[in-house]
Amino acid sequence: MSCIFVLFERRAVIAISYEPDGLKYSRYIWGLQILSPFFGQMGAGLYAGAVTTALVNGVYLGYLFALYSVRQKNLRNILPSRFCNYFGFATTIAALLLVWSGLSFRWTPAPVTAYAYYLAYVVQVLISFMLCKLYPIRDVFRNACKGTAYAAAISTPLAFIFVGFAGGRLGGEGGNSMIGAVSMPAIFGTLSVAYLVLDRSMSKLTAILLLIPYVLSLVFSFNKTGLIALVIATIVYVLLAPGSTARRITRIVYLVIGLAIVLLALSSKILSYTSHSGNIETFTGRTIIWVQTIAQIRNGPWLRGFGILAYRTIGPIADANGDHLVHAHNDFLTVWFNYGLIGVVLVFGSYLALAYSSFKSIRLGGGFSSVLAFCVFVFYFTSGITAASAMMCLFPTPWLLLLDSLVSTHLTKADRYLSLSRSHTVRL
């Protein structure tokens, strides 16, 4: 790395020539986040995906730091002020959550491997932050969506080949299922394609071809929470997206047709699910997990939590082999268990901060990008009812940071424009 710094210090022009590639490389970084869970299924070992992703991310982050160092010393004005990015309150709260989760190592019962998971996660967040410091946010977000969209399409055949079916579902059932790893890339890909099409960075034909594997993943994995949350987010988009009355009617027609196709494709699975007694009343057994989780929280350190990755170590539910579930199948309870009430305030504070800034940006003419940011909030907030993440909150912090910067940059520039307009207003 020192050689890279020396090279860039001596020849700043070289840094300029590498900059476009540096942004394009980010596509592969985002795509790797999608594909890494499948590495273990491909015979590379349980931690191969995590280790590979961490190493690649570490090298790329070092490259971004080197490039930023050159800019600070030699190329201060390479990014004009009109392209500068800004961060909102959601990013500040998310940073506090990372600090709080790091402090929880002092009392967590999690094994030493938790440090590696935490470090890898922080590196991903820093990559998002550095990209926003180096490049215009729209270019950063566009490349993130492209990498995610294509990687999500690749994940579908990988799931069919290396994961397979169990219990009639792609990804399996039970505590060790990979339904989330199979279906969430498809949902990520759908949201990414939606942005790229609206941004006119992807043709409609390419979007349709990419949507085919997404639909296959969602139908065969039958991720009920993900599907319902995606439908709700889509309805919110139809209601809030800018456009004429004719365009709104067209969107509603497409939405109705899409829902009809999804219900028809899933009709047999829905009938099978509802025919089993207790599935609907207990959310497929999740209420039992929630009751035991709440009991353990009440009898433990409910304010500070048990610590990072504590649920998968000392959680209330274990199988015959003594293995604990990785999370409580509820974002609120998992965060409360691991990080206490303080963590809950920080997590949902960042959620609501992004929702507020997105909605404010929509009112100030933020366009489809602000609407999409609000829809992503709706999706994760809804998904959190029966889903969670073992490491942090369900909403990935790197993506929250990008969306917050996308919205906050528009808000800052809109506020400056309004202030400038008012200062030039002549009173008669």
Render each residue's pLDDT in the chain as its tens digit; 428 residues: 333 333 334 443 444 444 446 788 899 999 988 888 777 666 555 566 677 788 889 999 999 888 888 777 665 544 444 557 888 999 999 999 999 999 999 999 988 888 888 998 999 999 999 998 888 899 999 999 999 999 999 988 888 888 777 767 777 665 556 777 778 888 888 888 888 988 888 888 898 898 888 888 888 888 888 888 888 998 998 888 887 888 888 888 888 888 888 778 777 777 777 776 555 555 677 888 899 999 999 998 999 999 999 998 898 876 666 677 888 889 999 999 999 999 999 999 999 999 999 999 998 888 888 999 999 999 999 999 988 888 888 899 999 999 999 999 888 876 555 454 444 444 43
235 φψ region: left (φ > 0), alpha (ψ -120 to 50), beta (else): alpha
Q: What is the largest CA-CA distance in the chain?
A: 81
Distance CA 158, CA 152 (A): 10
Residues listed for the chain: 428
Q: How many other CB atoms are found less than 10 A from the CB of residue 40? A: 17
Which of 3, 94, 52, 35 is CA-nearest to residue 402?
A: 94
Tokens in use for 343? 């963590």
pTM of the entire structure? Answer: 0.87
C-alpha torsion sign, points 159, 164, 166, 170: positive
What 3 state SS string does 342-365 have?
HHHHHHHHHHHHHHHHHHHHHHCC
Distance CA 421, CA 417 (A): 6
Q: How many other CB atoms are found less than 10 A from the CB of residue 35? A: 20
Cα torsion for 399, 402, 405, 411, to the nearest 10°?
Answer: -80
Tokens in use for 261? 């196709």
Tokens in use for 21? 């590639």
What 3 state SS string does the chain have?
CHHHHHHHHHCHHHHHHHHHHHHHHHHHHHHHHHHHHHCHHHCCCCCHHHHHHHHHHHHHHHHHHHHHHHHHHHCCCCCCHHHCCCCCHHHHHHHHHHHHHHHHHHCCCCCCHHHHHHHHHHHHHHHHHHHHHHCCHHHHHHHHHHHHHHHHHHHHHHHHHHHCEECCEECCCCCCCCHHHHHHHHHHHHHHHHHHHHCCCCCHHHHHHHHHHHHHHHHHHCCHHHHHHHHHHHHHHHHHCCCCHHHHHHHHHHHHHHHHHHHHHHHHHHHHHHHCCCCCCCCCCHHHHHHHHHHHHHCCCCCCCCCCCCHHHHCCCECCCCCECCCCCCHHHHHHHHHHHHHHHHHHHHHHHHHHHHHHHHHCCCCHHHHHHHHHHHHHHHHCCCCCCCCCCCCCHHHHHHHHHHHHHHHHHHHHHHHHHHHCCCCC
